[in-house]
Amino acid sequence: MQARSDQVRWVPIEDIDEDGTAEECPDGAVLLLPQADGRYRLISGADKLSRYRAAGLSCVDAVLCPGDCLEERISRLLDRQAQGKMHFLEEAEACRSLMTGDRLTAEELARRTGRSAATIRRKVRLLSLGEKVLELVSQSGVNERTAEVLLRIPGQEGRLRILEQIVAGKLDFRAAEALVEHVLRRMPVPVQGGRRPQPMVRDYRLYLNAIRGIVEQMQDAGVDGGMEVTVGRRVAEVRITMPLFGGQR
């Protein structure tokens, strides 16, 4: 990056944050990205910054890139989108990075990329499918619409089981959507308004699967929960364990 004279500033070293991802510019310059809280994130020049710190200096001459770095990243994203060589999960990750790291709203990113804000939010939401599901989506070649319909299934483990069926059966989007609809219809539906619930499904295993889905959602959220099922002649006993938080007794 070519620095302009109005980009160079003396910046207090104590205001610079390092996250270990900084690269080195050929000329060794300290390149900083201003943050919304008034601090700076180090983009490159870690060696020079370390020398200044070791010498006991309180400031460093740095190149600020409030717009150029962002524009370059958006330009690279647009190029890859135009070439059609970008996997939809890569695009989702790039959008999320721009929205979190550069604090762009979905509307601002939409104006810069030609996408709609709703499309950007939908793409970023795919990243909440869960690590195992995302890995299989990437490896299997499942398309974006099929990946999106998996979001309707609660819990990563439930989504993974459905995705494995989709991949094994080589289902297209319509067939995958029908499978998800079938699974959702077989899940028990909560009754509103305080009325006594009527059993829509007689097979107890479907209710066990619904309960297991809740436990899996807890596990996906990092809660160390567990479920044990004992099936007798007339009843099925379900035991759920979870840790107590905040010193509860």
- The pLDDT tens digits for 150-209 are 999 988 888 999 999 999 999 999 999 999 998 888 776 554 444 554 554 456 677 777
Q: In angstroms, how far is CA 238 from the centroid of its own chain?
A: 32
Percent share of the chain, pLDDT over 70: 81
pLDDT digits (tens, 9 = 90+) for 52-83: 999 999 999 888 875 556 767 787 788 788 77
Q: What is the predicted pLDDT for the residue at 19?
A: 74
Confidence of residue 22 (pLDDT cuts 50, 70, 90): low
Question: For residue 156, what are the contacts with CB-CB under 8 A and spacing of at least 6?
Answer: 129, 130, 131, 132, 133, 216, 219, 220
Which of helix, strand or coil describes residue 146? helix
pLDDT digits (tens, 9 = 90+) for 128-140: 999 999 999 999 9
Instruction: Pull the structure tokens for residue 183.
Output: 């699974």
Instruction: Pull the structure tokens for residue 1.
Output: 């990056």
Encode 38-71: b = buried (16+ Cβ within 10 Å), e = exposed: eebbbbbbbebbeebeeeeeeebebbbbeebbbe
Instruction: Pull the structure tokens for residue 137.
Output: 């989506």
